[in-house]
Structures are given as structure tokens and as C-alpha cells.
Structure 1
Amino acid sequence: MSSKTTGQSINDLEPGQFLKVGKVAPVGSLEARKLANGVTTFYWRFTIKSKTHREPVGIYDSGAPPKSVKPTAKGYSIQAAMRAAEALSEQHHARRDDGGILAIKAEAQQARTAAAQAQAEAQQFTLENLLGDYADHLEFQGRRSHADVRSIIKLHVLEPWPQVASLPANQVTGEQIADMMRRVVELGKDRTANKLRSYMRAAYQTAKAARSKASIPLRFKGYRITHNPAADTEPDESANRADKNPLSLEELRAYWLAIKTMAGFKGAVLRLHLLTGGQRIEQLVNLRTADIDAGAFTLYDGKGRPGKPPRPHTIPLIPEAALALLACQPEGIYALSTDGGNTHLAATTLSAWAVEAAAGIDGFQTKRIRSGVETLLASGRVSSDIRGRLQSHGIAGVQARHYDGHDYMQEKRDALALLLRLLQEQSANVVHIKTA
């Protein structure tokens, strides 16, 4: 009969050898095994479905007080290892009918996997990434508004609110978005605050709709958006009022007098802009040479419904506008270009040229040309429908969108011809302005 203590027997183990330390209630036993590096580890051994399993308990600390029942910083005494094994045994016995300790471990692993996945999603599907993905989605659709989205988000979300921007998008609240808007309002930019709300609302709606709308990229589903927090906020309706400050008839005639004989590419571009009805400058400068036909050209309007591709918008050319376009010498990819069509004329450059030409008109802004043209055509009894089709305000109503196949080219051509006649009529109140 051996006179060795359990501790001595453990110390005498050979590498790889197991030693049964004792039975564990209610099931199993405690074992010790010395590893190749000389460290001894305790295991709880048990049998389930006729198979033997060993569950690690911890490292043996030979220097621990023999009667200690809690592990030390270095490991377990024999008594502490026995208590730990008993705790595992009790958990196993309580779940013996559905897998015991193996089922408990599997559930714990599933929980760890779910937690890791949730953490990964939290880092990937943030508000910042949602807004970035939305801007990318707009750009892919050909929406030029993506640049405005990126600018506003950078200035009014990412830079001032980095902690909120880094949150999972589905954890951001309407109150947090309202605080972002409030900051912009306090900067005196009420209209920008409304645009911020609009863009964030659209981004969330895109992610929310991704669950049922196949045309939305799959990535948006990853945000797990079921509620649109931006929809809980209220816009400032007063900031959305139209800035109705169109050029008057006299001011339009003065502007026409300033550009009608202006030489070179600059004058030709300004005449083309005015004589085609004051088209949106951002769209006009993107005119492609391939989209010019006999007597007309086609622009692409990206200001329509979210999720829809840019809408083709064809504008007829009256003879004077056709001459202006010819003087621009369209070639290459872009028709309005100073480098042979490789890049298009910048919208800011065209606007600056218009401001220069209209130096004598008080408060002149290029956008007032567009509203001035519409106002002038309205005074000439051109219907709102034709004005809308000419300036691409959008087509309202089911009948117009789905059943009316008429191209309205003649009606738009007649409106442009009327515009030129009204510009050329003599008036005693013409505002004379300096030419560049």
C-alpha cells in the first residue's frame, strides 16, 4: 500500500500521465495530468452516452494552502480543484437529459459567436457607413446630389458628432438627429438643417426598404433598420419656402443685351443657357456630344424620385440656340468644354460668367435666370404644364407618367420662340448694364 500523499503522487507524475485524484459528486471524477512542459493540470472526467470526456479545471498550484477552496493567482490546490469539479458536475447533472455540460458549452459558444458578430456589425454598420453607402448608392444611380450629401454629412454629422456617427445605425435616435439639426439651425442655416434631415431620412428609408425591395443593394440589409429615426423629427417649414426672386422682364432683357453679341465661347455658352429656358446649370454643363441631335439635345435630370435613375429631358433648339451651341464647337465626350471634350465646363465657371455679364443688375444670382424665364413665360400665357416640361420640374399624376406618350417638343419649341421674342421686344424701361 502506497504511503504517498495525493500531492506527492501528483508531483511524481510523468509527462502525459493521468492520476485519478478522487470521485466527484454527483458524477465523474477529478484527475491530474502532467504536461510536457512540466505543468500539471486538473480535469473533471465524466461519461455521457458511453463516451468519456475530460473538462479542464485549471493548473495545479503545489504551493497553495492545502485546505484552500478557492484558486490562487497561480492555480488550484487539490481541494479547490475538487470544488470546481463538483460545480461542473452539478451543472452537468442538472442538464443530463439534454446534453449536460456539452450542451452548456455549445450554448456558451453560440453566445460568444453571437456577441462577436454583434460587435463586428456594430463596427461595420454604423451611422457613418450608412450615410456613406447612401451617397455611393446615389452616385451609382447617376444622382449628382451625392456630392451635396457627402458635403453636408461631413460638415454637420461626422465632424461635430463623431461619437454618434460611430454608433450602430439602428441605435441612433430621433432625438440625436434633432440635436444635429438644432446645431445647424443655431449656425443660421435653417435650409441646410432641413436638407440634413431629408438626406438622413432617405438613407434610413433606403436601408429599411432593402428588406423587401430587390433593386436596393444587399449591403443595406446588414444595417437591420426597422424604424426610421429621422422620420421622428420635424422640418422647419419656413426654411423650405421658395426663394421667389426672379429676374424681371426688364432685367432679363438687359441680361440678353449683354450676352447676345458677346464673343467667343463664353458668350455662346451664356446664350445657350438662356435660350434653352434656363436649364439647371449642373445638368447643362454635363451635356454630352452624343446626346445632341438635329434641332434638340438631351440632358439627364437626377432630381426625381429617390431610387429612380436620372430621367432623360430633351430640349428643342430654336435657330438662335442652335447657333449658340454650334459656336461652342462641341467635340469629344462633353459638348461644353475647353479641352476638346475631355472634361466639361464647371458649373461654377458658367455661373461666374453670368454674374460678370450681369454686373449692373442689383442682387443678380444665376438661379434668378431660371425663375425669371418661367415667370416671363407665365406672363406670356404658357401653361404651367409646358413650363414644367421645358424646365424639367417633374411630371405629376398617373396619367402624365404612364399614359401620355406625347413628347411636347413643338409646345416647348413654341415656348422658347416666345421667350426670344419677349427678350427682343423694345421697352422704355430696359435696365442698361455694363458688359464685360
Structure 2
Amino acid sequence: MLTDKQIRAMKPGEREYTISDGRSAKGEGVLMLRVRPTGTKEFYFQRRLDGKKIKSKLGTWPAMSLTAARDLCRVEKEVVIAAGTFQNLIDAYINKLEGEQAASADDVKWSLKHYVSEAFPDLVSRPVALIGPGNIRDILSKMISDGVTTYCNRVRSQLHAAFQVGLEQEFNPRSYQKTALKFGLTSNPVASVPVQADWERPGDRALSTQELATLWHLLPEHLTLVTSELLKFLITSGGQRPEQLLTSERRHYFKDHMVIRNKKGKAGERSLHVVPYNTLMRRSLKVMDEISETSVYPFEGKVIGKALHTQSLSRAVTKLYGRHVDKFSEPFTLRDIRRTCKTLMGVAGLSKELRDRIQGHAFGDVSSKHYDRHDYFKEKQEGLLRWSVWLHRNVVDLK
């Protein structure tokens, strides 16, 4: 067995080497010490699963003592290794979101594939019960080192939700009996990894009338036609949520209105949001029809049958600002467009309640939830017509 004196005396070699802390019963696993050429000495817990060696890093000596490493080893030995891998857990979470038709399903699928599955292929193939806080930290640390800031908190949140799905499956007596794939989870490793709070400041940027007019007149020449008309449609429709608008198929667009399924609520609480057309909205839809009247989505991306992705639209807005910094008072993003419309519709004379209804906000008071069944179509139609007139006068026709 290892001793502190032996560990202290170990010298680094040209190649790293490992020393075992004695023998364990078959299948239990063993404590290993890895000595790197740099002189760093790391404790690992090693076990075999399906004939393969699986190592879990415990800590670095001397910050972690030999006694503490052995204590962690005893904890690791009690972990029951189930067949479910980290990738299986990610897939189960995405399937759940898609089954609920959640608004975030496509973004979660893209981000977990891009930042986790593709970036850490060996990690996602491991049994998910062996994924610890250190592994989650490494995923987010790579994002930060690559220059990703706020979105690393989004990925953390997505991973936390994925592990919660696994825990619910593991401990819900009804779902546990129905599911063949087991994860063996006992806790959520993401909970120990802190949120980067300084990247979570709520946005307050709203473009002025002059800035909105500047943006409007930059669109045709500096963005693709589809992206340009989509941004115009978002503005003229009063600032609808881009992710919801983009996932609305052509069959949801009718003669005098379109229907957006509001997917922001919890399962069972999501509702249909009706948005009447005004003259400027019709103009953008006409341009899209001239490109194709049969596409699945009016604002179709480069791939036939696929809508333009929200991430692409967001990047386009950010790059547009970057090319014309001198024309705006400060930076803005796609998320600020909705806030801008909400603010300037107030300048145009629309009441806050009407602006909320146009943007599809939920009304949580008892009267609205349980008694008010009025559709407010006429009120929204009149409000969007007034907004269109204001945009013509102050934005579209401004020279």
C-alpha cells in the first residue's frame, strides 16, 4: 500500500507512470496515483466495466491527502454502475423536450451536441453515474477558454435539467418500472458547479427611434434577403419571439393572421398566440412568397425544409452592429429587438396591456387564467395597424 513518504519521494520521469494503492476485491476498483513528467501527482479511482478500464480523477496530491483519497475511493466503490451513458442521458432529455414540443428543444439539441458530445466524445461514452462535478467544470471551462461567456450558463442549465430528468426516472417508482435503460444516478453533479453570476445581468438596451430607422435602412444591402425580411417582420409584428416565429410552419399563416404556438409555459399550459397582419407584415410575406410559395417555412434557411435558425439570426444582428458601430450609441443584440418594439409601441400610443397581448405575454391573474375567454383579435389588429402607421412615419419613410 502507498504511504505519504513514498508519494513524497516519487520523482517524475520522461513519461507519466501510475502506482496502485494495493489490491482490491475483483470488480471493486482501486486507488491509483499518476505521476506526470511535470511532477504533478494525481489520485484516480480505477475500475473495470465491460472489460474496459474507467478512471475517475479524485484530486491532486498534496492538496488532497492520501487518507482523503482513500475515503473518496470507498464512496466510489458504492456507486452502482448502470448501463446508461452520458450520451444516453442527453438523448433522453432532448427526447423529452421534443415530445413536449418545447420552444427550447432545437437550441438545446444543438448546444449539447456542439459543446458536449462533439467536444468530449470520450466523456459522453462513459456511464453517466461516473460523471462528477469536475467533468461538468471541464466542459464549461473549455467554453470559457474559447470565448463563450453568457451561453456557458445556458449549457450549465441544460445539463442540470438533463440530470434532473435522469434522477426523476431513477427515483419515480412508476417511470422506473417502465424504463429499461437505467442510469444509476444518486445526485446531480451540476449542482456543485456555480453559475457565473456576473454574466447574468438582465438586458435593458432598447434602440431609439433614430437607431431603429438606421437599422431598418441597413438591412437590405447588408444581410441576405431572407434574414433582412425576417428582421423586418419581427419588428413590424411588434417584436414576436424569434424562436417561436421561426418554428411556425407556413400552414400556420392564414389570410389575415398567423398563429404562433406559445411554447414558453410548462407542459399543458402552452397556448396559441394569434397575431393579425398589418401592411408592413404583408409586404415581407409577399417577398417570401416570391422566393417560394411552397416551402414548409416562410422564412426558410439554406437547407430546404428547415427554418432559419435563431443562432444564425442572432449572429447576423451582432455582425451587422459590428460593421456599423459608429451609427449606434451602444451595442445591441437580437434579444434587444423585442424590447425595442415593446418600448416604441408605447411611444406610438399603445397601452401596456395591449403591447403585452401583441407580444404574447401570459396573464397570471385569476381573472385572466380562469374567466376571461375573449380573444382580443380586434384589439391586437387595431394596435398593430397603429404600429404600422407609426413605423411608416418614423422609421420606414425616414430619409
Q: What TM bracket, shorter-length normalisation?
A: 0.5 to 0.7
* 1:378–1:218 Cα change, 3 Å: farther
* 1:317–1:205 Cα change, 3 Å: same
In the alignment, structure 1 residue 335 sits paired with structure 2 residue 274: no
Report what 2:188 is aligned to. 228
Letter in 1 for 2:297: Y
Report what 2:341 is aligned to. 373
Deviation at 1:384, TM superposition (A): 4.6
Unmatched segments (≥5 aa) in structure 2? 1-79
Is the Cα–Cα contact under 8 Å of residues 81 and 184 in structure 2 kept in the other structure? no
Report what 1:424 is aligned to. 392
Taking the aligned partners of 2:109 and 2:228, their CA distance within structure 1 comes to 33
Is the Cα–Cα contact under 8 Å of residues 303 and 310 in structure 1 kept in the other structure? yes
Report what 1:409 is aligned to. 377
- Aligned to 2:182, the other structure's residue is in SS state helix
Taking the aligned partners of 2:391 and 2:363, their CA distance within structure 1 comes to 27
CA RMSD of aligned residues (A): 4.4
Could you tell me which of 299, 311, 316 is aligned with 2:276?
Answer: 316
Could you tell me which of 251, 254, 264 is aligned with 1:293?
Answer: 254
Deviation at 1:196, TM superposition (A): 1.9
Taking the aligned partners of 2:113 and 2:217, their CA distance within structure 1 comes to 42
* 1:380–1:304 Cα change, 3 Å: same
Q: TM-score, with normalisation over the residues of structure 2?
A: 0.61
Taking the aligned partners of 2:125 and 2:138, their CA distance within structure 1 comes to 16
* 1:181–1:258 Cα change, 3 Å: closer
Taking the aligned partners of 2:296 and 2:287, their CA distance within structure 1 comes to 17
Deviation at 1:202, TM superposition (A): 0.9
Q: Deviations over 1:381-423 (max 9, x none)?
A: 6455543432235454565444442323334334323322332
Query: Taking every aligned residue pair, what percent have the same amino acid on both sides?
Result: 24
Taking the aligned partners of 2:134 and 2:263, their CA distance within structure 1 comes to 31
Is the Cα–Cα contact under 8 Å of residues 208 and 221 in structure 1 kept in the other structure? no
Q: TM-score, with normalisation over the residues of structure 1?
A: 0.56
Could you tell me which of 88, 91, 94 is aligned with 1:129?
Answer: 88
Could you tell me which of 153, 158, 164 is aligned with 1:199?
Answer: 158
* 1:237–1:308 Cα change, 3 Å: farther
Moved more, 385-394 or 312-321: 385-394
Alignment length (residue pairs): 310
Q: Deviations over 1:290-311 (max 9, x none)?
A: 2123321012344443x56864
Unmatched segments (≥5 aa) in structure 1? 1-120
- Aligned to 2:273, the other structure's residue is in SS state strand
Is the Cα–Cα contact under 8 Å of residues 205 and 332 in structure 2 kept in the other structure? no
Taking the aligned partners of 1:156 and 1:355, their CA distance within structure 2 comes to 21
* 1:171–1:404 Cα change, 3 Å: farther
Alignment of 1:86-97 (within 5 A): none
Taking the aligned partners of 1:270 and 1:336, their CA distance within structure 2 comes to 10
Is the Cα–Cα contact under 8 Å of residues 142 and 310 in structure 1 kept in the other structure? no
Taking the aligned partners of 1:279 and 1:385, their CA distance within structure 2 comes to 15
Report what 1:277 is aligned to. 238
Taking the aligned partners of 2:118 and 2:125, their CA distance within structure 1 comes to 11
Structure number with higher relative contact order (C-alpha < 8 Å, ≥ 6 residues apart): 2
Alignment of 1:75-154 (within 5 A): 122=81, 124-143=83-102, 145-154=104-113
Is the Cα–Cα contact under 8 Å of residues 206 and 220 in structure 1 kept in the other structure? no
Is the Cα–Cα contact under 8 Å of residues 123 and 168 in structure 1 kept in the other structure? yes
Moved more, 124-133 or 141-150: 141-150
* 1:315–1:215 Cα change, 3 Å: farther
Deviation at 1:198, TM superposition (A): 0.7
* 1:218–1:278 Cα change, 3 Å: farther
Could you tell me which of 129, 132, 149 is aligned with 1:190?
Answer: 149
In the alignment, structure 1 residue 241 sits paired with structure 2 residue 209: no
- Aligned to 1:230, the other structure's residue is in SS state helix
Is the Cα–Cα contact under 8 Å of residues 316 and 409 in structure 1 kept in the other structure? yes
Is the Cα–Cα contact under 8 Å of residues 286 and 336 in structure 1 kept in the other structure? no
Taking the aligned partners of 1:288 and 1:185, their CA distance within structure 2 comes to 36
Deviation at 1:201, TM superposition (A): 1.4
